[in-house]
Amino acid sequence: MASQFDVIILGGGPAGYVAAIRSAQLGMTTAVIERDKLGGVCVNIGCIPTKALLHSAYIAKLLREAKEFGVEAGSVKTDYGVAMQRSRRVSDQNSKGVEFLMKKNKVTVVKGSGVLQTGRRVKVGSDTYEARTAVIIATGSRVKGLPQIGLEINKTTVISSDEALFLEKAPATLAIIGAGAVGMEFADIFSAFGTTVTLIEALPRILPLEDVEASDALAKSYKKRGIEVIAGAKVKKGTPAKDKVTLEIETNGATRKIEAAAVLMAAGRAVNVEDIGLAECGVQVTERGFIKVDAGLQTSAPGYYAIGDVAGPPMLAHKGMREGVTVTELIAGKKPHAIRYDNVPSVTYCHPEVASIGLTEDQCKERKLEYVAGRFPFSANGRARGTGETEGFVKILRDKKYGEILGAHIVGGHASEIIHELAVARENEYTVEEVELAIHAHPTMSEAVAQAALDSLGRVVDM
Amino acid sequence: MATKVFMEALSPTMEEGRLVKWHKREGDVVKAGETLAEVETDKAIMDLVARADGVLRQVAVTEGQTVPVGNVVAVIAAPGETVGPAAQAPAPAPAGKGEGGGATPAPTRAAPTAPAIVVADATRVKASPLAKRIATESGVDLKLVTGSGPGGRVVKRDLEHAATRPVAAMPAPAPIAPFPLPSSPLPVPRSGAPYEDVPLTQIRKTIAKRLATSLGPIPHFFLTTEVDMERAGEARDALNRQLGDRGKVSFNDVIVKATALALTKHRACNAWFQDDHIRYWNEVHIGMAVAVEDGLITPVIRHADLKALLEIGGEARDLAEKARNRRLQPSEYTGATFSVSNLGMFEIDQFTAVINPPEAGIIAVGSIAPKPVVWDGQVVPRRRMRITMSCDHRVIDGATGAAFLKTLKEMLENPLAMLL
């Protein structure tokens, strides 16, 4: 006799654990199957520990600049091992927090690797669990290497974020392949801990999914602090040796060699769809390897749902969390508000931070939209001057006719926090005028948002 | 958990109630739905029933006492439960005084009173700022759009749908009858769900609110008369022959024109009730009820008394078309001084229409059909039509309405009288 639950969730990452809590709140008996630690990549080897390390990097940066602010801290010494240990404690606290939430909401946690069976059943080892209503697949994703060019992750000289997060020492030199969020953040971290960093991106600019102006601002900032940024570069070959890796890269038709103590692979992730019984249950995947879902997040097999990274991009924890809430409400027969996938904020927590929502200026052009761009630099913002965070800007793209906020891009201190004003605005279809009409406290970084909105209307005050 | 027993609004207009008789005594076991007491409202003696199972405790109101709606009159506790001090029995309240029992904590939840209906709110539309801007710029009437956002809010996507709605799907405008057949929800197979909940569209909500402010609060009365339409019919036929390709005059155009002209002679019926005053209009603007998909709206033919029949006809068709395509501007459906509702094309003999406030009257027009009538001492077939006027008695008295109707009848029976 199989143990029965109303809802069984495969995977206890951000999408899965949020789905579990909402499911329990809705009165359904719920089980989560997790092979590793609760909280998934995000809590254990992703979002959370990197934010801890980035803050260590930020403190190092502050101390180096402290003299200018009238504070002498002597010579600044950094120890990646200590920072790493602290980041582990932060992750563990968060993972325990998720464990507590499971208990509090009476969610059963099954440790082990689950394999889907037909009839909404999941096998874990020799035990079988049966879902009366739904099975939710939330198995997430993992980093991938580039074995085809000799760069298979060997965990010593060719590493991924999984290893980088557990290093005892920062390497002397590091080549990072991929300048998306992960590559950008590790470049920031290791550079602050004394590593000579080379950042290599295949596409023509770093942070390729962000607005061109954001990419340019970050390239400038990174170069200024001694990070070598090579965009539009193809890695032809990687040759790992005992304590170094030689990379052969091609940029602008020329080939050059780069040597580094380690290579960090930060280009792309693979979804975890293997060995979980998808095909046996009739769960289809897309050409790109994601699980195929309909508008209600149900897979091609009735009663089987998929959320989070496995269900398709953007592969972001907060997108998965929202899907976790929505899918359980749908399963419980409620009518949740449809997820607006065009309104998922994207944040890179390097310094300066990069946050965006909606369309980039290039996308506006591609779609032949009539738009007006409003900008405001933090160098003209009083608060930013006071804290010395004058790098960056707020840029708002508005529809020319109706003032709809088509996209917003922020580079600067606390961009990750400031962006939400624009997320709320877009979710509620406020135009730039409503954003500007809301009184912004003075002096704050957020004033730059109101000023950028005003600039798009041709009425900027502070510039 | 103790449950408070409130003085409930047992009639829509009840503000306070006199406790006539307790059916249960303190300590009695009560069941949800059982009568606790008899209460005299402004209209009748009604039962106050228990909303929870338990034991009646702390009867706070004595027989004969009057308390405002929303005040606590007793507490129902679980058996054996001691009720905390917060729910202590208040001192008996002096009858009719605002706050009731001095020690009674104000009820934290809203008392079950009838919601006040505010006319000004009736046309309020929930829409995002962006949707409002798009609607203003593109001339879409938000009241006619079904909102798909949170709480039925109209969002951008709804307007995109409204704009791309194929025009062919609209009922083609009939040349004579300006009303399309209203659509009703599609029939579903018998094996399907027993019912379907369809959220109210904005227009449906507005209709609900507007009409509830009409037939309820407005003291309606109705006057019916039968009009001989033979001569009007002959005149119309003659005009149409003369016009040829240049247009057509419909009975509806004749009725709108006659109504407008009759109103110029009976200003007492061309008026708005405005709470503390009556506005008698010197201009005549006729509201014309038009059925649209999912509701109705009354576009306005302005200065109908001054317009030629062809002008009225052209405008009526134009407005009806716009209404069905959801393109009416607010200025095109507000400001009527009197309305006409015509269900003649549906073969309705006679009906009563609901006044569209603040207007004081509306004419309901039935079908025109040949009937045997006594004419010059002979029984002959003649085209006849019944019209019923709904009057707001606060503005129009019986004789006033009857005098207007007589003028209208004369004009229709003898179209030349319109020239008088």
Where is pLDDT greater, at B59 or B388?
A: B388
* A207 and A304 housed in the same domain: no
Where is pLDDT greater, at B90 or B65?
A: B65
A77 lies in some domain: yes
Q: Give backbone dihedrals phi and psi of A400, rounded to 5 degrees, phi first.
A: -60, -40
- Distance in angstroms (rounded) separating the CA atoms of residues B324 and B181: 11
Q: Which CATH number belongs to the domain containing residue A381 in this structure?
A: 3.30.390.30
Q: Is B137 within 8 Å of A431 when comparing Cβ atoms?
A: no
A136 lies in some domain: yes
Q: What is the pLDDT of residue B83?
A: 60
Q: Does B45 touch chain A (CB under 8 A)?
A: no
ipTM of this complex prediction, to 2 decimal places: 0.78
| Percentage of chain A lying above the pLDDT 70 cut | 100
pLDDT digits (tens, 9 = 90+) for B367-416: 999 999 988 888 999 999 999 999 998 888 889 999 999 999 999 999 88
Q: What is the pLDDT of residue B68?
A: 83
* Mean pLDDT of chain B, nearest integer: 78
Q: Which CATH number belongs to the domain containing residue A20 in this structure?
A: 3.50.50.60
Give the mean pLDDT of B234-239: 89
What is the number of domains present in chain A? 3
Residue type, B11: S
Q: What is the pLDDT of residue B177?
A: 35
Q: pLDDT category, B26, cuts 50, 70, 90? A: confident
Q: pLDDT category, B105, cuts 50, 70, 90? A: very low
A21 lies in some domain: yes
C-beta separation of B311 from B249 below 8 A:
no
Residue type, B80: G
Q: Give A212-261 as a 3 state SS string.
A: HHHHHHHHHHHHHCCCEEEECEEEEEEEECCCCEEEEEEECCEEEEEEEC
pLDDT digits (tens, 9 = 90+) for B253-264: 999 999 999 999
Q: What is the pLDDT of residue A409?
A: 98
Q: What is the nearest CA distance from B51 to chain A, expressed in angstroms?
A: 25
Pairing status of strand B72-77 against strand B29-30: unpaired
* A297 and A414 housed in the same domain: no
Give the mean pLDDT of A235-253: 93
- Distance in angstroms (rounded) separating the CA atoms of residues A137 and A130: 14
CA B213 vs CA A314, B200, B209, B248, B398: distances in Å? 50, 18, 6, 37, 22
Identify the bridge partners of residue B54 per DSSP, sorted by sequence position: B30
CB pairs under 8 A between A and B: 27
**Boundary residue ending a domain (A222, A247, A267):** A267
Among residues A437, A449, A463, the alpha carbon closest in space to that of A356 is found at: A449
Q: What is the pLDDT of residue B102?
A: 40
Domain that holds residue A235: 147-267
* A260 and A279 housed in the same domain: no
Residue B18 has pLDDT above 60, yes or no: yes
- Distance in angstroms (rounded) separating the CA atoms of residues A218 and A212: 10
**Boundary residue ending a domain (A239, A267, A295):** A267
Q: Is B137 within 8 Å of A433 when comparing Cβ atoms?
A: no
| Lowest-pLDDT choice from A447-451, B156-160, B165-169 | B165-169
* A23 and A134 housed in the same domain: yes
- Distance in angstroms (rounded) separating the CA atoms of residues A154 and A156: 6
Active site residue B393: yes
pLDDT digits (tens, 9 = 90+) for A384-426: 999 999 999 999 999 999 999 999 999 999 999 999 999 999 9
CA A1 vs CA A119, A276, B73: distances in Å? 14, 22, 55
Q: What is the pLDDT of residue B333?
A: 84
Give the mean pLDDT of A235-241: 93
**A337 neighbourhood in chain B, CB within 8 Å:** 149-150
* A170 and A133 housed in the same domain: no
Class of residue B261 by CB neighbours under 10 A (exposed 0-12, middle 13-18, buried 19+): buried
| Lowest-pLDDT choice from A305-319, B86-100, B124-138 | B86-100
Where is pLDDT greater, at B364 or B204?
A: B364
Interface of A with B in 335-354 (CB under 8 A): 337
Q: What is the pLDDT of residue A461?
A: 86
A463 lies in some domain: no
Q: Does A100 touch chain B (CB under 8 A)?
A: no
Q: Is B156 within 8 Å of A404 when comparing Cβ atoms?
A: yes
Among residues B304, B274, B301, the alpha carbon closest in space to that of B288 is found at: B301
All residues at 6 or more sequence positions from B125 whose CB lies less than 8 Å from its CB, including other chains: B142, B143, B154, B202, B206
**Boundary residue ending a domain (A306, A341, A376):** A341
Q: pLDDT category, B358, cuts 50, 70, 90? A: confident
Give the mean pLDDT of A324-344: 94
**A429 neighbourhood in chain B, CB within 8 Å:** 128-131, 155-156
Nearest CB to B129 within list A337, A401, A430: A430
A347 lies in some domain: no
Give the mean pLDDT of B169-195: 46
Residue type, B414: N
Three-class SS state of A47: helix
**Structural domains of chain B ordered from first start:** 3-87 (2.40.50.100), 119-204 (4.10.320.10), 206-419 (3.30.559.10)
Q: Give backbone dihedrals phi and psi of A97, rounded to 5 degrees, phi first.
A: -60, -40
* Mean pLDDT of chain A, nearest integer: 95
Q: pLDDT category, A189, cuts 50, 70, 90? A: very high
pLDDT digits (tens, 9 = 90+) for B312-357: 999 999 998 888 877 777 778 888 999 999 998 888 999 999 998 8
Helix (H) or strand (E) holding A354: strand A353-358
Q: Does B137 touch chain A (CB under 8 A)?
A: yes
**A401 neighbourhood in chain B, CB within 8 Å:** 137
* A263 and A152 housed in the same domain: yes
**B134 neighbourhood in chain A, CB within 8 Å:** 402
A412 lies in some domain: yes
Residue A42 has pLDDT above 50, yes or no: yes
Q: What is the pLDDT of residue B25?
A: 86
Q: Give A193-210 as a 3 state SS string.
A: CCCEEEEEECCCCCCCCC
Number of H-type helices and E-type strands within chain B = 8, 18
- Distance in angstroms (rounded) separating the CA atoms of residues A310 and A289: 8
Give the mean pLDDT of A436-450: 96
CA-nearest residue of chain B to A426? B130
Q: Does B124 touch chain A (CB under 8 A)?
A: no
Q: What is the pLDDT of residue B38?
A: 86
**B149 neighbourhood in chain A, CB within 8 Å:** 337
Give the mean pLDDT of B39-61: 79
Residue A292 has pLDDT above 60, yes or no: yes
Q: What is the pLDDT of residue B13?
A: 57
Q: What is the pLDDT of residue B111?
A: 39
Q: What is the pLDDT of residue A109?
A: 97
* A261 and A162 housed in the same domain: yes
CA A364 vs CA A395, A411, B219, B237, B311: distances in Å? 13, 19, 58, 60, 47
Nearest CB to A337 within list B131, B137, B150: B150
Q: What is the pLDDT of residue B31?
A: 87
Residue A71 has pLDDT above 60, yes or no: yes
Identify the bridge partners of residue B368 per DSSP, sorted by sequence position: B385
A16 lies in some domain: yes
Residue B79 has pLDDT above 80, yes or no: no
Q: Is B129 within 8 Å of A434 when comparing Cβ atoms?
A: yes
Pairing status of strand A254-260 against strand A245-251: antiparallel
Give the mean pLDDT of A100-121: 96
Q: Is A402 within 8 Å of B128 when comparing Cβ atoms?
A: no
Where is pLDDT greater, at B420 or A376?
A: A376
CA-nearest residue of chain B to A337? B150
| Percentage of chain A lying above the pLDDT 90 cut | 94
Give the mean pLDDT of A34-52: 95
Q: What is the pLDDT of residue B172?
A: 33
* A10 and A79 housed in the same domain: yes
Residues in chain B: 420
- B270: its two tokens: 């061309």
- B411: its two tokens: 């004009």
Q: What is the nearest CA distance from A431 to chain B, expressed in angstroms?
A: 6
* A134 and A277 housed in the same domain: yes
Residue A197 has pLDDT above 70, yes or no: yes
A346 lies in some domain: no
* A45 and A133 housed in the same domain: yes
* A28 and A100 housed in the same domain: yes
Only one residue has tokens 């990750």, namely A416
pLDDT digits (tens, 9 = 90+) for B3-13: 888 888 776 55
Where is pLDDT greater, at B137 or B374?
A: B374
- Distance in angstroms (rounded) separating the CA atoms of residues A55 and A342: 29
Residue B117 has pLDDT above 60, yes or no: no
Give the mean pLDDT of B281-302: 87
Q: What is the pLDDT of residue B173?
A: 34
Q: Is A429 within 8 Å of B155 when comparing Cβ atoms?
A: yes
Q: What is the pLDDT of residue B291?
A: 84
This prediction has a pTM of: 0.63
Helix (H) or strand (E) holding B341: strand B338-342
Give the mean pLDDT of A278-304: 95
pLDDT digits (tens, 9 = 90+) for B170-180: 333 333 333 34
Q: Does B151 touch chain A (CB under 8 A)?
A: no
Residue A301: DSSP 8-state: S
Q: What is the pLDDT of residue B193?
A: 62
| Percentage of chain B lying above the pLDDT 90 cut | 26
Residue A325 has pLDDT above 90, yes or no: yes
* A122 and A212 housed in the same domain: no
**B131 neighbourhood in chain A, CB within 8 Å:** 429
pLDDT digits (tens, 9 = 90+) for A120-171: 999 999 999 999 999 999 999 998 888 888 889 999 999 999 999 999 999 9
Where is pLDDT greater, at B111 or A248?
A: A248
